[in-house]
Structure 1
């Protein structure tokens, strides 16, 4: 991905290559990121920084003990530490209509720069008179705590730099609902009214507090998580569709073992890949086109109607960037 980024930056400044259909700006880690999402912070069993009432913590709390321990492969075969729990800004999810358009990179248009022909996002009426849509998703590493050195104990942080991790334009499963069944064959079990009706309970739970992890096929008020593609069959608005696709992509990353279980005692020593999305360890903040300000962030599946007014507008306000926050439990020493 690095060579694509360099090539795009160079070529996008060549005459006649820049495309006005791709717009955006670079993310300001101070002004655009709501740092209230870092809370609550718990150290050694004590809450040292409380969260606003709208930000519930996970149900699995491993930070209430004064000490913790992790196994070692060499003597003394155990490491004693202090449990630390916080929320970590780790990924940016871009949801775009135009292939290889990167709003959070200042509107960088790699699609036009390197001349690639890929499926475009579109909205169209379906057979029932409703609206469907299709978007691409870009997954970017954005470990702000590590980059800004806000928490100095790097044992507890994801040791990464800013990078482009995944673009769905190069994933044939993202644009084909039937082909995506290779990755999520269980989608056939949940494509029925009874299973989808259960998502109403997930919506109510996520809006009142936290989503229901056992209902792993639901994205709360945004609808069903399946299939893991860029198609939104019931497009209500860009904010709703983009949040659904970020949540869906988060589930896709878990299924591909590219996302970790990082909370509770089991993830305290070392996050480990987990094939089913752990919904209550994620929360999302809208960053672009307009920063979410009414509430710090939305737990997985919470209704987007409390933040969507005024966030979508023609031309420069139809692509969306969400900051994903992940709960991190850690045994620091």
Structure 2
């Protein structure tokens, strides 16, 4: 396949209009509605609308300070057929066009460049990795799955897992953080990858048999079982959606860590409660929406932000979101001072509107 002449301007599935060096995405009403739905859910401590989660995670690539770090692509959620049911139609995965173009480009390995873990920021900082022009940007191709579970102690029927193809090692890791019914889900996901039609990955460099040998099944997650032992009650299966988001954000925050697929088995990852996870994700989406709609008046901005007042009971979320927003404002002030321009607007009014 010939190498494309033009690099994608911004991570898919977004488009980018104008010549803004920040590469802000064009958020049409549908995209804005999806991101709004995720922000509202996080502010209330409820479950985000499932079909909006991949778009929101893709948006986490956009307008980030680490603009040279590798990207991750999230495909729409796949519904996994139970083992005791017949697949009436074989599953199919169609990748975004920018991702297909990117797969044709050479991947510049990270593992030879060193780097170190920043404990304060809880992220791996790259060494000398600076991809040459024309090299690939997408390191991870991510597929969130929804499985059906029948557990007597809960009425919920959905468990979420995630498969992540890592171009650094050319292998796929499937993460399952729920301790009940794993044997069944392993069988389901094995059948899924045996049958799925995805010509831009399977059959492109690896045939089906070779691809299946490059899958790792990571199930060494015990934190959910420990929580149940402590609470003496079942953890709702749907909580795994937070675990999946936590694993996804962990990968993106540490995209220059060669061994990022080893996701720590800790409570703050299972609930995605650590500062670099849901709080930073929330702050990023909020800022991205405001930056991408420069035509909004101050009143329109305040009306938009007012929807996302974080509940009092989510004290950890309120504290950590404020901390990350303060960091962003300080960076914006510093940038304006260096450039000697700007209007001095750093949105400090957000704290009053959100009540944090």
TM-score (ref. length: structure 2) = 0.26
Greater RCO structure (CA 8 Å; 6+ sep):
1
Structure having the higher strand fraction is 1
Structure having the higher helix fraction is 2
